Amino acid sequence: MLKSAIAATWMALALAACATSAPAQTQATPAPTHATSGARNPAVQVDALAFIPPAPQANGALEMAERAIVRGPWSAERRAQALADNAIDPFAAFDSVLGETFTSANFPATTALLTRAGRAAGYAGEPVKFRDQRPRPFVTDSSIIPCIPDEPALRASFSYPSGHAALGFAWALVLAELVPTRADAIIERGRDFTWSRVVCGVHYPSDVEAGRTVAAAAIARLHADPDFQRERAAAREELARAYP
């Protein structure tokens, strides 16, 4: 039962981070979020519209330069890693740093904390996505082949900022704080995890950078939240026993 609930949570985060698309009625109408309807997503405590600048101009010099980066070339090994990093699972993402025993089953308090952090960061960029409605690189440039299936929902979703990068970097920030002896390696893995979105062909570098900024803001704000503080204390105690 617990495993199923956790899987459902990661799936919900995946949908928020990677498949946010325009409402059916019109491409230009923003989604109903706390920024447009007054109905605040309870997971989100920051307003990304206030600090994330507009996406680079479509087909402008910066976007063209970014598109060249997305094209690569990338090695088959790096593409395989990008495909693996498409999974919304912090334990799979960071077990290369924290070891094979770093699993949700072994660290339930950490699971709760990472779930809260992922929701806060993963959903926070949605208003910006609908403000800018930037197409993904592989949609604009047919020579870019995504590492994940090219499905209609993916094509209909927006690129800036990267929700996948936001939640992945949020996990890295939280884990680096809780396991300071491995902080450098955790942050590096978080950077690599987020860069996989560029390698995969589904995000521009500026999408990823904006996602990291969203993550930093979301986690900074969460530190003032009593529920987050309580869950962080439990996770810190749990992780300290495994990673002294």
Q: Which of 22-26, 195-199, 221-225 has the lowest mean pLDDT?
A: 22-26
Q: Is the residue at 114 inside a domain?
A: yes
Note whether residue 212 is domain-resident. yes
Mean pLDDT of all residues in 177-182: 97
Write the CATH number for 216.
1.20.144.10
Angle between helices 183-199 and 163-178 (to 10 degrees): 170
pLDDT of residue 43: 82
**What confidence tens digit (pLDDT) does each residue in 39-66 have?**
457 788 999 999 999 999 999 999 999 9
Amino acid code (one letter) for 207: D
Instruction: Tell me how far apart the alpha carbons of residues 112 and 59 are, in angstroms, rounded to a whole number.
Output: 41
| SS3 category, 170 | helix
Instruction: Indicate the pLDDT class of residue 120, thresholds 50, 70 and 90.
Output: very high
In a domain, 45, yes or no: no
Residue 163 lies in a domain: yes
Whether 67 is covered by a domain: the verdict is no
Q: What is the sign, positive or negative, of the torsion defined by CA atoms of 48, 157, 18, 160?
A: negative
Instruction: Kindly state whether residue 46 falls inside one of the protein's structural domains.
Output: no
59: left (phi over 0), alpha (psi -120 to 50) or beta: left
Residue 212 has pLDDT above 60, yes or no: yes
What mean pLDDT is predicted for residues 78-96? 97
Q: How many domains does the chain have?
A: 1
Q: How many helices (H) and strands (E) does the chain have?
A: 12, 0
In a domain, 69, yes or no: no
> Residue 223 is part of which domain span?
99-244
Is the predicted pLDDT of residue 124 greater than 80, yes or no? yes
Q: Does residue 190 have a pLDDT over 90?
A: yes
Residues 6+ apart with CB under 8 A from 84: 92
Q: What is the pLDDT of residue 27?
A: 32
- Is 37 domain-assigned? no
